[in-house]
Amino acid sequence: MASELCKTISVARLEKHKNLFLNYRNLHHFPLELLKDEGLQYLERLYMKRNSLTTLPENLAQKLPNLVELYLHSNNIVVVPEAIGSLVKLQCLDLSDNALEIVCPEIGRLRALRHLRLANNQLQFLPPDLGRSRELQYVYVDNNIHLKGLPSYLYNKVIGCSGCGAPIQVSEVKLLSFSSGQLTVFLPAEVKAIGTENDHVLPLQELAMRSLHHTYHSFLKDLNFLSPISLPRSLLELLHCPLGHCHRCSEPMFTIVYPKLFPLRETPMAGLHQGRTPVSFVAYCCSAQCLQTFDLLS
């Protein structure tokens, strides 16, 4: 089996194939042959359905830079590395039927992505920036039973969310949650604090992070100017990759969000979902002012 796999990949490399089918191969690890030397620079579509993969390699984008479609349906993937955000040409990503509990924020920043399939996983929240790109039009998260909140960017896009929103005891989850009336959603793990309409002053750390981000992007254009000694590594990484951007004004957010819930069943999209779904759209705002002025339907 291993020699047959190597032969298949070697032929694809030599003949510069654009499509490679590695479904039903009982793979437990991403094939090293795919990552050798320069990888498969011409490959555009990779099919690896129904294997036993648990993760993806960090250098995936480096070795397969021209991937347009990646099909990983029915594996055991628990973690998707941040490096997937470097697949700049990726238009379709299928991670259905895996074991994902978290989707890395970088997936929400894939500018060419049009189709994202995350059904039948174990997700409890989605990245705040998911849907910010206008290219992303189809998102399927069906049967993530504890997923209750969808980023408001996904409003007016094609969404599959049947089987989501089952009750769960908040005490069982090590995440911040936000409640409005009878609705409760879990917030991304990166969120350290929740603001309300009465919180008009930002925490000092958040103010400092936003000021640094604005300074270096406006004047120096390069955060690499900061030496590793300038800031703790965790804060330096956060400067490079904010937890999200305000759904009202696009200001980057680093440690605090001001959330606002819009039950899907109370929006014009309710008819598309038979009006029964307990899922809500979540607007992640950067301040009390944006929270007060955000309108999902405008």
In this structure, what CATH number is given to the domain that contains residue 4?
3.80.10.10
Last residue of a domain, one of 103, 134, 163: 163
Number of domains in the chain: 2
| 142, part of any domain | yes
- Judgement on whether residues 125 and 254 belong to the same structural domain of the protein: no
Q: What count of other Cβ atoms lies within 10 Å of the Cβ of residue 15?
A: 9
Beta strands in the chain (DSSP E): 19-21, 45-47, 69-71, 92-94, 115-117, 138-140, 149-151, 158-160, 177-180, 183-186, 193-194, 244-245, 252-253, 256-263, 280-285
pLDDT tens string 4-16: 999 999 999 999 9
**pLDDT, one tens digit for every residue, the chain (298 residues):** 578 999 999 999 999 999 999 999 999 999 999 988 888 999 999 999 999 999 999 999 999 999 999 999 999 999 888 889 999 999 999 999 999 999 988 998 899 999 999 999 999 999 999 999 999 999 999 999 999 999 999 999 999 999 998 876 655 556 788 888 778 898 988 899 999 999 999 999 899 889 888 887 776 555 555 555 566 777 777 777 888 999 999 999 999 999 999 999 899 888 777 657 889 999 999 999 999 999 998 7
pTM of the complete model: 0.90
Last residue of a domain, one of 112, 145, 163: 163
Instruction: Identify the helix (H) or strand (E) that includes residue 69.
Output: strand 69-71
- Count, residues in the chain: 298
Last residue of a domain, one of 136, 163, 190: 163
Q: Is 47 left (phi over 0), alpha (psi -120 to 50) or beta?
A: beta
- Judgement on whether residues 45 and 158 belong to the same structural domain of the protein: yes
SS3 content of the chain, % helix, strand, coil (to 5): 25, 15, 55
- Judgement on whether residues 98 and 9 belong to the same structural domain of the protein: yes
| 141, part of any domain | yes
Find the domain containing 271 and state its range.
Answer: 244-294
- Judgement on whether residues 263 and 135 belong to the same structural domain of the protein: no
Instruction: Please check whether residue 85 is in contact with residue 106, taking contact to mean a CB–CB distance below 8 angstroms.
Output: yes
